Amino acid sequence: MIALKNIEKVYRTSTIETLALTNINLTVRAGEFLSIMGPSGCGKSTLLNLMGLLDAPSTGQVEIGGQPVTQYRDVDLARLRNQKIGFIFQSFHLINDLSVLDNVEIPLLYRKGDETGPSRRELARQALEKVGLSNRMKHFPSQLSGGQKQRVAIARAIVGQPAIILADEPTGNLDSAMGNEIMSILQQLNADGSTIVMVTHDESMAKRTHRLVRLFDGAMVGDSLLMVNEGR
């Protein structure tokens, strides 16, 4: 589904070079729920950004669905990203001036309309139902709790039915009860067929995924399959 081959990522400014990732070879298979852990600055977000086609490697190749994409033009990368990938961030990234329903519709605005399928509004409603927020559609983000905001962000990530969900510390800003709720939703999405890659600092969240990749100083230092503790 996503393959990273011989990846190296160097950030260069006029004065400093930072080797953020080195010698990364990692294949995420369809249907997997993979977590990435490691100390601050070890390259976790960089790795997720490369998988999400938000950034390009300095050397090596990124493949999505067997297709090498590193040489794609920006416009083609943007289309592929919109069709295949949903993003969830630690700080939600909702637009405060838009209602919950409007926020969830955003990824669909970049797609050509499918005249025969359900309307954008209907798809957004369905996504909000999946995360249990049907009763908050007219609210604005400032009127929601942190856990509810993250559920809106998840609805926005899944509204276009992407094959892959990338989540960067999705429970990082939440207390443990809300974090557990978000984790249960992600587990359910995975059980329904989504491939998920999640960066986390929390071992108890990582234990609820299928596979744990550990990074240290930009290198992969562990890759293990886990016995899943459903935690539901």
Residue 156 contacts residue 107 (beta carbons within 8 Å) = yes
For ligand ATP (CB under 6 A), the number of binding residues is 11
Instruction: Confirm or reject binding of residue 132 to ligand ATP (CB under 6 A).
Output: no
Instruction: Confirm or reject binding of residue 41 to ligand ATP (CB under 6 A).
Output: yes
Concatenating the DSSP letter of every residue in 15-49 gives S-EEEEEEEEEEEEPTT-EEEEE-STTSSHHHHHH
Instruction: Confirm or reject binding of residue 118 to ligand ATP (CB under 6 A).
Output: no
Instruction: Confirm or reject binding of residue 18 to ligand ATP (CB under 6 A).
Output: yes
Instruction: Confirm or reject binding of residue 40 to ligand ATP (CB under 6 A).
Output: yes
Instruction: Confirm or reject binding of residue 45 to ligand ATP (CB under 6 A).
Output: yes
Instruction: Confirm or reject binding of residue 11 to ligand ATP (CB under 6 A).
Output: yes
Q: How far is the CB of 95 from ligand ATP (least distance, A)?
A: 23
Q: How far is the CB of 29 from ligand ATP (least distance, A)?
A: 23
Nearest to 223 by CA among 12, 28, 14, 21: 28
Instruction: Confirm or reject binding of residue 37 to ligand ATP (CB under 6 A).
Output: no
Which residues here bind ligand ATP, judged by CB under 6 A? 11, 18, 20, 38, 40-46
